[in-house]
């Protein structure tokens, strides 16, 4: 299947309009229509954004290779979950907050921490503990280093070198 058809078919499978996809990608609806008609192709950064927004990988070989990799990656994402996330994305912020609260309540009932709670757990604490430990170690290392002498202080005889400057006549 050609790239233009892959984009159109996947967008239609998810029920996303051209305008919604364009807004999500930060491009004009005309740009999306051009991609879907084959008049132009998205650049590298937009390609990655398209693949993320539509939850699929574009087959640039247009089916020339066997699709074993595509079948594996497609099996990881449930299309119903993608459709649900797209519907949630269309909701106003207060409704999204309510859905977030409902998800937290469900996870609490099953004893699982929410993704936000997991992000605030041990890794950050251990980072700061390691950093404090590193600061105390560096303080002991710097205290054993010889300190440079201030300017103008007398130096040992072997350290003094004769001046290479010419004296003014």
User: Which residue segments constitute the domains of the chain, with CATH numbers given?
Assistant: 3-90 (1.10.260.40), 92-136 (no CATH)
pTM: 0.40
Phi, psi of 39 (to 5 degrees): -70, -30
Closest CA to 22 of 9, 13, 14, 31: 31
Distance (Å, whole) CA 147 – CA 134:
21
pLDDT tier at 31, thresholds 50, 70, 90: very high
Range 66-86 average pLDDT:
65
- 4, 37 contact by CB (below 8 A): yes
Q: Which range is most confident: 20-34, 56-70, 72-86, 141-155?
A: 20-34
Tokens of 72: 């594996």
Range 131-141 average pLDDT:
53
């Amino acid at each position: 299947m050609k790239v233009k058809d892959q984009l159109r078919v996947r967008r239609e499978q998810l029920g996303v309009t051209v305008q919604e996809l364009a807004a999500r990608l930060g491009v004009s609806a005309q740009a999306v229509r051009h991609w879907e008609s084959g008049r132009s192709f998205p650049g590298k950064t937009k390609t990655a954004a398209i693949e993320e927004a539509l939850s699929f990988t574009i087959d640039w070989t247009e089916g020339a290779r066997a699709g074993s990799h595509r079948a594996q990656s497609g099996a990881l994402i449930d299309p119903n979950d993608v459709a649900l996330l797209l519907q949630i994305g269309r909701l106003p912020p207060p409704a999204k907050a309510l859905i977030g609260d409902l998800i937290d309540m469900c996870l609490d009932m099953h004893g699982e921490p929410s993704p936000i709670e997991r992000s605030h757990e041990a890794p950050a604490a251990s980072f700061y503990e390691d950093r404090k430990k590193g600061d105390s170690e560096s303080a002991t290392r710097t205290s054993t280093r010889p300190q440079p002498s201030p300017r103008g202080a007398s130096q040992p005889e072997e350290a003094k070198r004769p001046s290479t400057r010419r004296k003014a006549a």
